Structure 1
C-alpha cells in the first residue's frame, strides 16, 4: 500500500525541507513563514503548495487561519526548521532568547492538527545548549502529546546523503503512539570519505565569470561533467542566479594568495588582516565537499576563481536543482540559500518517514480486514 501523504512546513524559508519531502513523494500543502522574499521564492518553485505569511511568534492567533486557508485540518505530517540563531554555537546561546522558544510554535501546531508525524530540524548546538535542557524540553513536550520522539544520536552530516557540503544538522522525529506508530530509525549514510560528492563535482561545469558578472538568466557554456551535475540540470535548460560579485583589485589579490582548501592562516603576514576569524578567507577545495554554506557571501571563495561563489554555486552545494530559482535581491537570495535545509538530506529522511508510515498503516489495514472477517 502506497499513500500520498500530506505535509505542511513551518518556518519554511525558501523551501529546502519542502522540496526534499516533495521529491520523496509527499504532497506539500503549504509553507508558512513571515519572510516575504523567501515566501516569494517558495511560491514560485513549490507549485501547488500555498505560501502563507504568518507570524509564528504568535502561532495561537494563526492556526485557525492556516487551517482555513489550507482547507483542512487533516494533515499527515508537520515539518519545521525554527530559526537557529538562538541555538547556534556562534550565537549568544541565551536560554531566554525568544528564538529558542520557537519550537513551541511547532508543539502548538502539532497539538492543533494532530498529524501522524512531525519533524524538527536544527543546528547541532540545539542538542547541547545548557547541558541538553532545551533538547529534553522538546522531547518531553511532544511525548506529553502522545508522540514517540526519536532524536538523531549525533548530528547528520549532509555529505553522507549525497550533498556536496560538510553541513551538520540534528533532527527530532515523532510519531503518534495511539495510531500504532513506533519510534523512528534515521536513514543510514549513503556516502563516505571514499565517494563523497565534492565541490568540483558540483560546480565545475558553471561559467567562470572571469570576463563578466553573468546575469539572473543565462545559458550553460559547457556540458555537465559529472552525474551530480546532470542530476542538478535534469529539468532545465536555463541557468538561474549565476551572477558574480564585483570585487576590488585588492580583494582579488588577497584571494589569489589563498591556496585551494586554505584560509586566512595561509596568507602572508600583513595580508588580509581585516578578517582573521575561523572562516575568514576560506577557499573551497575542489576535491572535498564544501564547508557549511552560510547566509552571507564574503568569507568563502571559489576553489579556482578569485571571487565569492554565486547564489547558483551555493545552491548547487546545498543540492538545490538548477530549475529552483531564487527571487529577491542577491543579499536576500544568499540568505535563502544559507538558511535552507539541503533538499537531498531532507529527501533521505522523508523517504524513510514514508516507509515508517506505510508499514504501520498497512499493518492497521490488515488487522482491520481480519477483524471484519471475524
Structure 2
C-alpha cells in the first residue's frame, strides 16, 4: 500500500524543504512563515499548499491558527528549519527551558499534532553548540515525547546528493515509537567526490548576460548541455529570475583578475583591498560545486563572466527546478534562495523517510494480522 503522507512545513521560507518532499511524492498541506515575500513565492510554487503567515514566537496562537486552516486534515509529517540565533540553555533535558522560542514552536507543534514523523534542519554549528548540549537537549525532548530520534553523525553535504554546491546541513529525524517505527538511518551519498556536479555542468546553458542585464522571463537560447540541466529544465518553457547586476567598471576590473576557483588572496597587491575575508572575491570553479550560496552579499562570482550570479543561477546551484519562480524584489529573491534547503538534498531524506514510513505501516499491519490469527486460534 502506498500512502500520500500529509506534511506541514514550519519556517518554510521560499519552500526548499517542501519542494523536496513534493518531489518525493508527499502531499504538502501548508508552509508557515512570517516573511511576506517568501510566502508569496511559496504559494506560487507549492501547488495546493496553503501559505500561512504566522508568528511562530507565539506558538499557542499559531498552532490554533494552523489547525483551523487545515480544516481537519491529519498531519503525518512535520518538517522545519528554525533558525538557532541566540540559543541559550537554562535546563539540561527539556527544550522548553531554552530561550530559543523558535525551537520550542516546533516542539509544541509536534506535541499537538502527534505526526508519525518529523524532520528538523539546521546549520552544522548546532551539533557542537554548548559542547553538544543543545543537540542532546533536542534529542531528549523528543525522545521523552515518544519519538525515536536520529541525528546526522556528521553534517550532510549537498554535493553528495547531486546538488552542485558544497553546502553542509545537519538534520534531526524522529518517528513515533508506538507506531512500531524504529530509528531512522540517513541516506548514503549518491555521488563520490569524483562525480560531483560542477558549476558549468549546472549553469552553462543559461544566457551569459554579456550584452544585457537580462529579463525576469527569458527564452532558452541553447539546448541543455548536461543531464543536470535536463533535470532542472523539466516542465519549464522559460527561464525566470535571470537578471544581472550592474557593476561599476572598477568592480568588473577587480573580478576579472580573480582566477577560476580563486579568491581575494589571488589578487595583486593593492587590488580589492575593501574586502578581505574568507569568502571575499570568490570565483566559482567550472569543474567543482559552488561554495555555500549566500543571501546576496556579492562575494561570489560566475566561473566565467565578470559578475555575481543571478537569482536563477544560484537557484540552479541550490537545485531548484527552473519552473520555480521567485517573487519579490531581487534582494528578497536572493535571500529566499540563499536561506533555502536544496530541494534535491531534502528529497534524498524524504525518499528515505517515505520508505521508513511504509515499512512501519507494513510492520504494524502485519502485527494486526498476527494478533487476529492468535485470537482465532484461541477461540478454537
For 1:209 and 1:216, the matched residues in 2 are separated by 12
For 1:209 and 1:100, the matched residues in 2 are separated by 44
Aligned to 2:321: 321
Aligned to 2:198: 198
Larger deviation: 76-85 or 173-182? 76-85
For 2:302 and 2:27, the matched residues in 1 are separated by 36
CA deviation map 1:230-263 (0-9, x unaligned): 0000111110000000000000000000000000
Give the 3-state SS of the residue equivalent to 1:210 in structure 2: coil
Shift of 1:371: 2.6
Shift of 1:305: 0.2
Aligned to 2:93: none
Aligned to 1:291: 291
> 1:262 aligned to 2:278?
no
For 1:133 and 1:101, the matched residues in 2 are separated by 17
Aligned to 1:91: none
For 1:149 and 1:182, the matched residues in 2 are separated by 9
1:152-163 to 2 correspondences below 5 Å: 152-163=152-163
For 2:118 and 2:99, the matched residues in 1 are separated by 19
> 1:5 aligned to 2:30?
no
For 1:270 and 1:44, the matched residues in 2 are separated by 47
Shift of 1:372: 2.8
CA deviation map 1:37-72 (0-9, x unaligned): 000000000010000000001111111110110112
Aligned to 1:174: 174
> Aligned residue pairs: how many?
367
Larger deviation: 358-367 or 343-352? 358-367
- Are the aligned partners of 1:297 and 1:309 in contact in 2 as well (CA < 8 Å)? no
Pair 33,282 (structure 1): closer, same or farther in 2 beyond 3 Å: same
CA deviation map 1:250-281 (0-9, x unaligned): 00000000000000000001100000011000
For 1:65 and 1:30, the matched residues in 2 are separated by 12
State the TM-score, normalizing by the size of structure 1: 0.96
Aligned to 2:305: 305
Please identify the structure whose Cα radius of gyration is greater: 2
CA deviation map 1:280-320 (0-9, x unaligned): 00000001000000112410000000000000000000000
For 1:85 and 1:294, the matched residues in 2 are separated by 17
For 1:64 and 1:298, the matched residues in 2 are separated by 40
- Are the aligned partners of 2:89 and 2:99 in contact in 1 as well (CA < 8 Å)? no
Pair 10,41 (structure 1): closer, same or farther in 2 beyond 3 Å: same
Gap regions ≥5 residues in structure 1: 88-93
- Are the aligned partners of 2:219 and 2:239 in contact in 1 as well (CA < 8 Å)? yes
Pair 32,307 (structure 1): closer, same or farther in 2 beyond 3 Å: same
For 1:86 and 1:47, the matched residues in 2 are separated by 34
Shift of 1:178: 1.0
For 2:221 and 2:84, the matched residues in 1 are separated by 38
Give the root-mean-square deviation of aligned CA atoms: 1.3
Aligned to 1:140: 140
Pair 85,199 (structure 1): closer, same or farther in 2 beyond 3 Å: farther
State the TM-score, normalizing by the size of structure 2: 0.94
For 2:207 and 2:350, the matched residues in 1 are separated by 33
CA deviation map 1:75-109 (0-9, x unaligned): 1000000024447xxxxxx669x984411111000
Give the 3-state SS of the residue equivalent to 1:131 in structure 2: helix
- Are the aligned partners of 1:6 and 1:77 in contact in 2 as well (CA < 8 Å)? yes
1:196-345 to 2 correspondences below 5 Å: 196-345=196-345
For 2:66 and 2:137, the matched residues in 1 are separated by 26
Deviating beyond 3 angstroms after TM superposition, the runs of 4 or more aligned structure 1 residues are 84-87, 98-101
Aligned to 1:44: 44
Pair 33,241 (structure 1): closer, same or farther in 2 beyond 3 Å: same
Shift of 1:339: 0.3
Give the 3-state SS of the residue equivalent to 1:307 in structure 2: coil
